[in-house]
Amino acid sequence: MTEQHTVKSVDRVLQELAREVADMGQLVQKQITDAVHALVKHEFEIAEGVVMNRNAVDALHREIQEKGIVAIALRQPVAVDLREIVGASRIAHDLDHIGDLAEGIAKRVLRSEDHFRINDVVLGLERMGELVLGQLNEALESYAQRDAAKALKVWRADAQVDAVYNSRFRELLTYMMEDAHSIGYCTDLLFSIKNIERIGDHVANVAESIYYIVEGRELPDGHSKDT
């Protein structure tokens, strides 16, 4: 009877963790969407919302971490159950960092008074944001489905984000050298696209954690993301 109770208790915790990770993922997706929109449209109110909503992401992160620690201490899960708990904690950690980076973009919008705009650069930044959001959505779907193949695909796709970042970075430097009036605006964009590129890195980490949950091992050493 005690063993059955323990199994049911662990199952309940795993279900709660999965739901909270999904909720945290949705919040973070909105943070990214709103932060990029605020940057592109120079919308202070939306940027303020990103900063204010950061507390909800933090609260879920703490809840997932604490629930996982308690479950390990009291229930002593093993094998796949333990991987589910550890993996949820790892995913929440990276989602929290993504929220930090989205907040950083929003705060840069709030500090900026420069309404200078370069349309093709803005379009490139929007596309970069859409690319990262698409990969995060794929990662969250792979977590819900426990799909290791989809997680591996997301992990490899981080090379695309890096390539777009390098292209946008060179483009912004060119504008800054050609027009001194664009330096302040382009500097803000440089920091923001770096944040988006780092979001892509954390999405890749989320994919790694999902692969670990499903397969019971880390990704092979030396595995290249662009292969």
The residue written with tokens 């890195």 in the block is: 201
Rg (CA), the chain: 20
Q: Which residue has the tokens 């489905």?
A: 145
Q: Is 1 exposed, middle or buried (0-12, 13-18, 19+ CB in 10 A)?
A: exposed
**What CA–CA distance (Å, rounded) separates 175 from 182?**
7
* Overall pTM > 0.75: yes
Q: Tens-digit pLDDT profile for the chain (227 aa)?
A: 444 545 677 888 899 999 999 999 999 999 999 999 999 888 999 999 999 999 999 999 999 999 999 988 887 777 889 999 999 999 999 999 999 999 999 999 888 776 667 777 788 888 899 999 999 999 999 999 999 999 999 999 999 999 999 999 999 999 889 888 888 888 888 999 999 999 999 999 999 999 999 999 888 754 545 44
Domains of the chain and any CATH numbers: 2-215 (1.20.58.220)
